[in-house]
Structure 1
Amino acid sequence: MGFGPQLSLLLWKNLIVLWRSKCMFLLELAFLFILLPVVLVVVRYAPKPNIEEQYSFEPFQITGDSLDINRSISHIRSIDNYYNCGRDVDIHLGFSYEPGMDKLAFEIMEALSERYSDNETMRIFIHNFTRLETMMEVLKEDLNDTREYMCSEYIGGVHFQSIRIQKGKSQPQLVYRILMPQKTNIRTQSHDFDLSLFWLDNSPGSVQADHNQIPGSPPYWQRGFLSIQFAIESTFIEMNKGPDFMKDKDFYLLRVPIDKSSTGGIDLFLKAVLVLWLLSISGIMLHTSKEIVIDKEAGIKTYMSVMGLHPLAFYLSHIIFGIIKSTAVMVICTALLSIRVQYSSSLLFIILTVLFAVSMVFMAALFSAIFKTTQLAQLFCMVIPILLLILNHQLAPAITNVWLCFLFSLNPITAFSYGLAHIINAEKNMIYLGWFSIFDNGTTQFTIAYSLFMLVVDSAILCFLIFYIDSVFPTDGSAKKHPLFLFENFWKRHSHQRLNKMPPVDQTDSKILIENMEPENASIDEADIIIQNLSKRFGFWGNLAVDNLNFRAYRGQVTVLLGHNGAGKTTTFSMITGSITSSGGYVIICGRNLEDNLDDCRKVIGYCPQHNPLFEKVTVREHLQLYAGLKTSTLNGPHGRNILNEEIADILDSINLRASIDIQSQNLSGGQKRKLCVAISLVAGSQVVLLDEPTAGMDPIARKEISTLLTKIKKDRTILLTTHYMDEADKLGDRVGIMVNGRLMCNGSPDFLKKKFGTGFILTILCNSEPQFFFENIEEILTTIQKHSPDAYVYRSNRFPQFSIILPISDKRHFADLFDELQFEKERLCIDSFGLSLNTLEQVFLR
């Protein structure tokens, strides 16, 4: 069956469960019901924003000399006030240069020192370093020694990387770096050159911190950065154009005007949207992870996989429902809030929040794939988003660091926060943000388009991780795949090539005599199940649960596996179904190697496990329709709805479950649930039927119904079952194999096993004595029998008034005389009747 139809079937099932779980659905939306009134209040009563008109600045002069030292601009500290610590200061400026640059570097720096020499309160002296590393060490040492008092000996340093004077056609070139400490206050650990002090929201385009002629932060003026930069470049220009080139030329700096903006209004609520929206879908995340893990804990996922389900379809069926519910929540909340969001596209805002919700649902599903228990999965659904929220708040880089933003946006919360920041800035700057502007400034900023893209990428990555982890590290007992299974087509051989290279099937275990196996009359072409040298070891040093197992099961026959608890029967079934991988050997299903053709093999398998993998809120009819659909391509089976309904009716009539066809499985009795599991294994014409203790927990009448059904339908099917009821195995089994410690000890028809391993004949006697004399009567009868069969002994005597005696086969020639005497002494021995039968499978099994 294709992936799409499987997904459709599971969505249909989830819709039924949702409709029958209305209270739980409302509980999922609890945070929505709490949040909605808050949103409505904000939309209705949020104050109008304060509009700030465009603000322009006055220019100020820069000279790159001693005049800059004492120049005060607006409320910004002057350079000498910043450095002199209340006294006159001689401060140094270090410089270094690349090899060959020494002469020109000295010339530039001496001219710079001359420019600042005639200031009385602060003089700048240059200091030469031949290597950049040496200068950096001195600057760091100076900072560490003096930074607590902010009175450094050095203002900073200059490193010249390339200096070229214009000669002929060669163009002048000046490449250099001005080095100043990032932090200046060791007590507060403040960052002077931190854009967050300039842009209040740490992003270009947001409201600026001050209205001075030059921004107070970063401190490019008061630290002398701008003045030194202008001095160096003015000196370089004079070296190329002549000493008089810069005379009589005044230079001014003019701060870019601040555009019209708004503050207040709905801005504060938008900043809280990230947390509020996360809370609103938290119930959906918890419920999604819970539903997935519950199905895994109940064995439903593994069982459905055996019946042909693709694992990713299982997860996506829950994820899609989580997405639908979270999308509804996001659309309602965001659409209401968009009424007050004037400068952003409502559709853009809604899609951003929906993509965020989608990624968080995928994250919840990932936790359910990683953890075995509902409690752990839900715990991580609560804790991890909180941790990611904290990491986003503490570590997320500014949007100007585009590539680093891409890296941090692998966290869906960070990707959403960047997109939300653009919407907030659009409201503040009163610049419309629509679909045609989502890529604006894409080379210099992490745009909202990038946020949308990364949310999609995050969902895709999470989906891949769910599929990969569930395949390689399953937590529900499913078969593990190789870590490189995605590339297996490069080395995978076709199944028929492996079959051709396999040695002939050996029907005997190497450790068991061939005499214990009855020769088979059927053709190998009729063997739908071939087990060859199959072994399973749990753990590297564990014991073998299945040890070199070999047998065949034929079409038209019921093959029974007997064995005590722990003999390896269920492990064998799990390997045949592909639920667990074998440690060695082969399983061939209908001519296909199971390891290479798992999906194809599962299409013909019907399986009834020991447990009941049933959906509590799904009816009997819906279960059968669902599993019939998994094996075919449609909800109505391979031949249409009418044929499927007839097949379902026939199966349910045979096991007396027709009256419960529309009852939910949670309301069925234990025996009825077992009947339903058997019916599921048979529906849609399963060619290979595997029944693991199908009648456990059934009453005798129900067991008889199952036996009658299996006898009726075995003609065109291969049936392999396990049971602890010896009479059931004797009646149903065309061939019976007995397993001990993972090995097949014997295999053949019930009659063959009885003759081969039986202890003798069973003489059953019905007494008419009084109960208090029953055991005395048994002793007297046994004494009479032992005259003819000295080795006879009592086999069963706890079912008054009946008991059984075992007669050795070797005494068969004396049976006629024995029966004559019993008949003659019938009244004296209080015998009502007696009968002789061959030994039972139970005796064979116990032996």
Structure 2
Amino acid sequence: MNPPVSARNPSDMDRIVLATSVKFPLASYLMDPAFDPGSPSPLYYLQSKCKANSSIPYPSGQATCSSDVNKELYKCKGGNKQHKEDNEFAAAFDFSDSNGAKYNMTVWHEETQVTNFMMGITFEYNRLPRWLNLASNAYLQVLQGPGTQMLFEFIKEVPTIIRLDSRVQGVLDFLLRIASFGLLIYPVTVLVSLIVYEKEKNLRIMMKMHGLRDTAYWAITYFYSLIISVLFVQFFLIAGEISGLTFFSKNDYTLQSIFYFIHVNWQISFVFVIAALVSTVKTAQVISSSYMMLVCVLAFFVAGRCIESTDISSSVVLLVEIFPGFALYRGVYEFQKYATFARNGADVGMRWKNLSDTGNGMKTAMIIMVTEWVVMLLLAYYLDQVVSSGSGRTKSPFFFLPTFRKKPTSQQSMQINSSQVLPGNNQSDVDQERQKVEQLMKEGSRTHTAVCDNIRKIYPGRDGNPAKAAVKGLSLALERSECFGMLGPNGAGKTSFISMMIGLTEPTSGTAYIEGLDITTRMDEVYTCMGVCPQFDLLWETLTGREHLYFYGRLKNLTGSTLAQAVEEALKEVNLFHGGIADKHAGKYSGGMKRRLSVAISLIGDPKIVYLDEPSTGLDPVSRNSLWSVVKRAKQNRAILLTTHSMEEAEALCDRLGVFVDGALRCVGNPKELKGRYGGYFIFTMTTTSGKNDEEVEDMVVSLCRNAVKTYHLGGTQKFELPKQEVRLADIFQLVENAKSKFPVQAWGLADTTLEDVFIKVTRQAQARSSDE
């Protein structure tokens, strides 16, 4: 809009002009549409004698001092509550010192940077030359008429070397900040997956059961993670320096290194907290990825807004930066800010002396990260002790209080638990074993490796279900050089008993001693003298068989030539030495090879007691017999507790057997003794045609042996137990001949009592007794 004719006399005009625009599109970040000749947006000359060509009313009046100008500019900037959505960019031109003979103009313009909250970008406006050109032409037209126009070529930016426009460079800075922040927090996902993998695969508890203490595990894991993270950060800094980005090249290298070193330590402690709370890699990846996305979004939309806003107090900003990850964002923001200063005229970016600059939040960010680093390390240790995390039994949430700590006890000082010995002079084998344990508890013994004193495990009831007694007061003593076999049906409580012995769960009452060490108070010491072959192979798929044995051998304090010899002997004993098998990755092993490697791991380092949970599962007959030979040799100087469902394996390896049914030990003895005690009969089997002569067969057997018991009857097949003291073999053969002369006999058989028969008989009797109770 041009001024009216009456306003063309300079003496009649107001001397202050406000130039504004009414739009805020993306294109206006580079040039205000008001100063674009091809733009449809209007240009307003706001004067007391002119009306603005806009439907929006603007106040007009005589400006008497600079405060009036400031007020009007503030309204155009956004202080006008009524038309706040305009969000104009404004400038004021003071012509009060100009006349027809002299041109002297003062420009009032805004120097603050505007931040787009939705994009997190700070834009710079370099419009002053254009404004000067525009105002000068306007003044010239007032003096000479509207047809006069001159291009003031001398009002231009200083020529520079071709480069990215400074306004576009601001966008690149924003993208660099995003990329840097995202890269720096990305290792969280990788590190937490590595730690949780060992927990999910039970590799950590496997290491712990072979003597690796929690402090050693976390120290090794911490420094391993630290080395990886520091190398990553150094690569990040060097790559940025080589690329010539001012974000890296202008800021002090040592300051950046120290800041990022604090960050990676904070990051590792944060990873430890996450790892203590989850038990699967999939869950860990979901949580860490969600955290990474969330913290990136919140950093730009919340932390960035709080840092750049002048309306938010420093205390609120401090509280925001306490959120995990926001302190890192503040540090990255400060590095970028000082790099921008350096690019726009300053000699250098941030230096150590700049930490005390007003508005510099780097020092606060570093203090926050150091504090959170220490706090989260302590929190991670606490959670690892009280949360079930694959590291063995957990502690009370108040374990750090003296009243919740258990005092170590020795076998000699331990008070005897109530044994509930059954009365009577003729005690059973189980009662005799209990009395033996009581005697050992009173007197002590150096010949027994393991002593279980009335150990119990009761799982509390849930969802209205009653409590479950998995182990009901087991008393057992194992001598050195003894292999004790534990037999029992599924759900009998064998796994619960073994779990207590190897430290996975804690006894509800009672205890056990390994080499005089109480498992309830000194389990860390017990781990150093035991070996475990779990039911399922717990191996690293990327390590070779030899590397596994070297690792577990070192946990048993083997070194040098002693370690090398022990590894070689172990590989030879389980038939993994020849043909390069020892140097293949365990992930490429067959099931039988993995089983043999697990047995070798349990035996390396000369442990005092070894737990073998179904060691021959999945082995072919040749490998199984070879493994049995290894176990027989191994038991010469240690106690072995073996669980199996193979009666052949139990009879071949075990010096004593115990049948475990419904949480209680039902019988104890060597295989021959058990067969004699619970057997003592022949198993006679006869099969006739279509079962037509079943009653006749039964009558003939009863006539031969009055106390014969029929144990099986299906179709034409019947099975009888014949007490040995009541029959002779010749009489049985005569019965068969008589039967053949009367009716067709398809098949018959006579066998002595097997260990399997004993197992079945004891199990059925125990289950029948439990159902009656």
The normalised TM-score by structure 1 is 0.61
Match status 1:656 vs 2:575: yes
Shift of 1:460: 3.4
Work out the CA distance in 2 between the residues paired with 1:374 and 1:550. 40
Does the 8 A contact of 1:355 with 1:456 survive in 2?
yes
Match status 1:387 vs 2:294: yes
Q: Which amino acid aligns with 1:562?
A: L
Select which of 461, 470, 484 maps to 2:384: 470
The secondary structure found in structure 2 opposite 1:376 is: helix
Select which of 418, 427, 439 maps to 2:330: 418
Which residue pairs with 2:608 in the alignment?
A: 687
Shift of 1:687: 0.7
Which residue pairs with 1:328 in the alignment?
A: 231
Work out the CA distance in 2 between the residues paired with 1:630 and 1:661. 19
Which residue pairs with 1:500 in the alignment?
A: 413
Select which of 197, 211, 234 maps to 1:308: 211
Shift of 1:683: 0.6
Instruction: Mark the CA change 1:318 to 1:751 in structure 2 (over 3 Å): closer, same or farther.
Output: same
Instruction: Mark the CA change 1:741 to 1:438 in structure 2 (over 3 Å): closer, same or farther.
Output: farther
Match status 1:481 vs 2:366: no
Does the 8 A contact of 2:123 with 2:167 survive in 1?
no
Match status 1:641 vs 2:557: no
Match status 1:372 vs 2:279: yes
The secondary structure found in structure 2 opposite 1:720 is: strand
Match status 1:741 vs 2:741: no
Which residue pairs with 1:258 in the alignment?
A: none
Select which of 360, 373, 395 maps to 1:459: 373
Shift of 1:278: 4.0
Shift of 1:562: 1.3
Shift of 1:313: 4.6
Task: Give runs of aligned pairs for residues 506-545 of structure 1, distance below 5 A.
Answer: 506=419, 514-517=427-430, 519=432, 524-541=445-462, 542-545=467-470
Note the alpha carbon deviations across 1:736-758, whole angstroms, 9 max, x for none. Answer: 22222212222233334333333
Shift of 1:599: 0.9
Task: Pick which of 588-597 and 366-375 moved more.
Answer: 366-375
Shift of 1:675: 1.4
Shift of 1:352: 2.7
Does the 8 A contact of 1:284 with 1:322 survive in 2?
no
The normalised TM-score by structure 2 is 0.67
Instruction: Mark the CA change 1:394 to 1:830 in structure 2 (over 3 Å): closer, same or farther.
Output: closer
Shift of 1:611: 1.0
The secondary structure found in structure 1 opposite 2:428 is: helix
Task: Pick which of 735-744 and 473-482 moved more.
Answer: 473-482
The secondary structure found in structure 1 opposite 2:667 is: strand
Shift of 1:264: 5.6
Which residue pairs with 1:602 in the alignment?
A: 527
Task: Pick which of 395-404 and 674-683 moved more.
Answer: 395-404
Does the 8 A contact of 1:356 with 1:412 survive in 2?
no
Task: Give runs of aligned pairs for residues 55-204 of structure 1, distance below 5 A.
Answer: 71-73=65-67, 75-77=69-71
Work out the CA distance in 1 between the residues paired with 2:478 and 2:725. 34
Shift of 1:211: 13
Task: Pick which of 673-682 and 548-557 moved more.
Answer: 548-557
Percent sequence identity over aligned pairs: 22
Does the 8 A contact of 1:528 with 1:718 survive in 2?
yes
Note the alpha carbon deviations across 1:562-620, whole angstroms, 9 max, x for none. Answer: 11111111111111111122222212221111121121011111011111111111111
Shift of 1:425: 3.2
Shift of 1:414: 1.7
Which residue pairs with 2:191 in the alignment?
A: 288
Shift of 1:327: 3.2
Work out the CA distance in 2 between the residues paired with 1:336 and 1:355. 20
Q: Which amino acid aligns with 1:416?
A: L
Does the 8 A contact of 1:788 with 1:815 survive in 2?
no
The secondary structure found in structure 2 opposite 1:76 is: helix
Match status 1:548 vs 2:469: no
Does the 8 A contact of 1:754 with 1:844 survive in 2?
no
Shift of 1:821: 4.7
The secondary structure found in structure 1 opposite 2:510 is: strand
Does the 8 A contact of 2:448 with 2:515 survive in 1?
yes
Work out the CA distance in 2 between the residues paired with 1:311 and 1:569. 27
Note the alpha carbon deviations across 1:778-798, whole angstroms, 9 max, x for none. Answer: 999998766543444687999
Which residue pairs with 2:728 in the alignment?
A: 815
Work out the CA distance in 1 between the residues paired with 2:66 and 2:337. 32
Match status 1:344 vs 2:251: yes
Shift of 1:355: 3.8
Does the 8 A contact of 1:411 with 1:458 survive in 2?
no
Note the alpha carbon deviations across 1:624-676, whole angstroms, 9 max, x for none. Answer: 111121222xxxx1xx3332233233333333232322222111111221111
Shift of 1:688: 1.1
Work out the CA distance in 2 between the residues paired with 1:763 and 1:716. 42
Select which of 498, 509, 517 maps to 1:584: 509
Does the 8 A contact of 1:794 with 1:806 survive in 2?
yes
Work out the CA distance in 2 between the residues paired with 1:336 and 1:839. 74
Q: Which amino acid aligns with 1:376?
A: T
Instruction: Mark the CA change 1:756 to 1:390 in structure 2 (over 3 Å): closer, same or farther.
Output: same
Q: Which amino acid aligns with 1:348?
A: L
Instruction: Mark the CA change 1:653 to 1:822 in structure 2 (over 3 Å): closer, same or farther.
Output: farther
Task: Give runs of aligned pairs for residues 41-56 of structure 1, distance below 5 A.
Answer: none
Shift of 1:517: 1.9
More RCO (CA 8 Å, sep 6+):
1
Work out the CA distance in 2 between the residues paired with 1:476 and 1:556. 32
Q: Which amino acid aligns with 1:327?
A: V
Match status 1:621 vs 2:546: yes
Work out the CA distance in 1 between the residues paired with 2:690 and 2:606. 53
Select which of 419, 424, 440 maps to 2:356: 440
Task: Give runs of aligned pairs for residues 390-405 of structure 1, distance below 5 A.
Answer: 390-396=297-303, 397-398=306-307, 405=317
Shift of 1:315: 5.3
Note the alpha carbon deviations across 1:395-435, whole angstroms, 9 max, x for none. Answer: 43449966555543333432122222332332344264565
CA RMSD of aligned residues (A): 4.6
Which residue pairs with 2:23 in the alignment?
A: none
Which residue pairs with 1:408 in the alignment?
A: 320
Does the 8 A contact of 2:554 with 2:563 survive in 1?
no
Work out the CA distance in 1 between the residues paired with 2:254 and 2:560. 42
The secondary structure found in structure 1 opposite 2:499 is: helix
Instruction: Mark the CA change 1:716 to 1:789 in structure 2 (over 3 Å): closer, same or farther.
Output: same
Does the 8 A contact of 2:209 with 2:502 survive in 1?
yes
Instruction: Mark the CA change 1:698 to 1:774 in structure 2 (over 3 Å): closer, same or farther.
Output: farther
Note the alpha carbon deviations across 1:322-366, whole angstroms, 9 max, x for none. Answer: 444443333233223334435421232244345434534543443
Instruction: Mark the CA change 1:393 to 1:302 in structure 2 (over 3 Å): closer, same or farther.
Output: same
Does the 8 A contact of 1:759 with 1:839 survive in 2?
no
Does the 8 A contact of 1:518 with 1:748 survive in 2?
no
Note the alpha carbon deviations across 1:204-239, whole angstroms, 9 max, x for none. Answer: xx9999999xxxxxxxxxxxxxxxxxxxxxxxxxxx
Q: Which amino acid aligns with 1:462?
A: M
Q: Which amino acid aligns with 1:560?
A: G
Work out the CA distance in 1 between the residues paired with 2:338 and 2:266. 25
Shift of 1:543: 1.4
Work out the CA distance in 2 between the residues paired with 1:71 and 1:508. 107
Shift of 1:468: 2.3
Note the alpha carbon deviations across 1:435-490, whole angstroms, 9 max, x for none. Answer: 5415424xx65542333343333333333333322221124373111113334598
Shift of 1:721: 1.3
Which residue pairs with 2:55 in the alignment?
A: none
Note the alpha carbon deviations across 1:480-522, whole angstroms, 9 max, x for none. Answer: 11113334598442323x86141168496899x9414274589
Match status 1:631 vs 2:550: no
Instruction: Mark the CA change 1:281 to 1:747 in structure 2 (over 3 Å): closer, same or farther.
Output: farther
The secondary structure found in structure 2 opposite 1:715 is: coil
Segments of 5+ residues of structure 1 without an aligned counterpart are 1-67, 83-146, 151-184, 189-195, 213-261, 766-770
Task: Give runs of aligned pairs for residues 212-227 of structure 1, distance below 5 A.
Answer: none
Count of equivalent residues:
604
Shift of 1:764: 9.3
Work out the CA distance in 1 between the residues paired with 2:590 and 2:535. 16
